[in-house]
Chain A
Amino acid sequence: MDTRFTRGKSPILERSLTRPKTEVSLSAFALLFSEIVQYCQNRVYSVSELQNKLSELGQQVGVRILDVLVMREKNGKRETKVINMLLFIKVNVWKALFGKEADKLEQANDDDKTYYIIEKEPLINAYISVPKENSTLNCASFTAGIVEAILSYSGFPAKVTAHWHKGTTLMIKFDESVITRDKALDGR
């Protein structure tokens, strides 16, 4: 058993989980992201397809950052309550990815399954201007994908979409089962 983990050619398992000090330039990220969006754009026919594609790519990121953050910032303990999970995203995930907390976290007035993460000036969109004829397009779909993967892989299946509202709003719609479970937990 031991050898299985030490024999590997990759030092990845030996790496410390503490937050790395390395930083890259925002230009590097903006340029990379621009190429990614253009690549996706050339392979789809509609805005919604493009958003789905960006969301899929975001999910790849979300899946990977989740474990690292849970180990690093939560001592390996996962959240079980909806509200704590959302706070984990608003605070920990946002700080790790974007260097700051998300601006706002709100619950929809009329629907207990729906929550919003509101970001006035999301990093992802800061340097993009979307043409008028495509004005529904929101590249924050990428961020929506990150959030969706983090929620789903933590046991809170949800659909997350990006919208232009008070800046950029990520709309989180939880599965019915998540809310039912949360209420049951409350009752105890």
Chain B
Amino acid sequence: MSRQANRGTESKKMYWYLPFISPSASLHLMNSELFTLTYGALVTQLCKDYENDEDVNKQLDKMGYNIGVRLIEDFLARSNVGRCHDFRETADVIAKVAFKMYLGITPSVTNWSPAGDEFSLILENNPLVDFVELPDNHSGLIYSNLLCGVLRGALEMVQMAIDVKFIQDILKGDNVTEIRLKFIKRIEENLPAGEE
């Protein structure tokens, strides 16, 4: 693979806009099926491109992170949510506002750690997994891992370092899908991201 050629495509980046904000929120909704199937096509492609599930999980997380970094701006512009004062408030905003806005679902927030630095999101209907059945040879695949990256990336942009992972998954035979979020630390403002 020639590095030069890679550079060539690299420089021709496209510019992406997000839907403009209008008073009628319904203009910004679409049937979830195209979204679900498009995500499925992506996962299928990654499974072809990478040798093992672990690498697919990593790539999904990475792509999710890139999405999260951009999504947070869109979210803050549309939602009129102010700064969250603690992690509990953050949890509420994620579940009741953000998930509702982007995926049309409202996960429940449960299983708080005594210190208040960890909680779980319980997803009853994860739109990413409609029509999905995991084949037996992909037991290591975390199908919706993109979501972890999205949460991590978005929260990082509001100065929160968190750890996100799936601990239950309907696709693996669990009764519910559970995402666990753990607060790690507050990122200092004087170190803007990308400045390393």
Report how far A38 CA is from B171 CA in the complex, Å: 28
Interface residues on B, range: 35 or more
Interface residues of B in 34-69 (CB under 8 A from A): 34-35, 37-42, 44-45, 49, 59, 63, 66-67
Report how far A37 CA is from B39 CA in the complex, Å: 12
Contact assessment for A97 and B31 in the assembled complex, using a CB-CB cutoff below 8 Å = yes
Check: A1 CB closer than 8 A to any chain B CB. no
Mask, A131-170, CB within 8 Å of B = 1, is 1011001000010000000000000000000000000000
Residues on A with C-beta less than 8 A from B38 are 29, 32-33, 36, 57, 61, 142
Report how far A31 CA is from B130 CA in the complex, Å: 19
Contact assessment for A61 and B131 in the assembled complex, using a CB-CB cutoff below 8 Å = no
Residues on A with C-beta less than 8 A from B31 are 19-20, 22-23, 96-97, 99
Contact assessment for B104 and A60 in the assembled complex, using a CB-CB cutoff below 8 Å = no
Residues on B with C-beta less than 8 A from A39 are 42, 59, 63
Contact assessment for A28 and B34 in the assembled complex, using a CB-CB cutoff below 8 Å = no
Check: B14 CB closer than 8 A to any chain A CB. yes
Report how far A61 CA is from B105 CA in the complex, Å: 23
Contact assessment for A128 and B16 in the assembled complex, using a CB-CB cutoff below 8 Å = yes
Among B33, B39, B59, B173, point to the contact of A97 (Cβ < 8 A).
Answer: B33
Check: A3 CB closer than 8 A to any chain B CB. no
Among B15, B17, B32, point to the contact of A22 (Cβ < 8 A).
Answer: B32
Interface residues of A in 93-150 (CB under 8 A from B): 96-99, 123, 126-131, 133-134, 137, 142
Contact assessment for A24 and B32 in the assembled complex, using a CB-CB cutoff below 8 Å = yes
Contact assessment for A31 and B71 in the assembled complex, using a CB-CB cutoff below 8 Å = yes
The 27 listed contacts between A and B (C-beta, < 8 Å) are A12-B131, A12-B132, A22-B125, A25-B19, A25-B30, A26-B19, A26-B28, A27-B74, A31-B67, A31-B74, A32-B35, A32-B39, A38-B14, A38-B66, A39-B42, A39-B63, A44-B9, A45-B5, A56-B45, A60-B41, A61-B41, A68-B131, A96-B33, A98-B30, A99-B30, A127-B19, A131-B12
Which residues of B come within 8 Å of A, CB atoms? Answer: 5-6, 8-10, 12-19, 27-35, 37-42, 44-45, 49, 59, 63, 66-67, 70-71, 74, 101-105, 125, 127, 130-133, 146, 171, 173
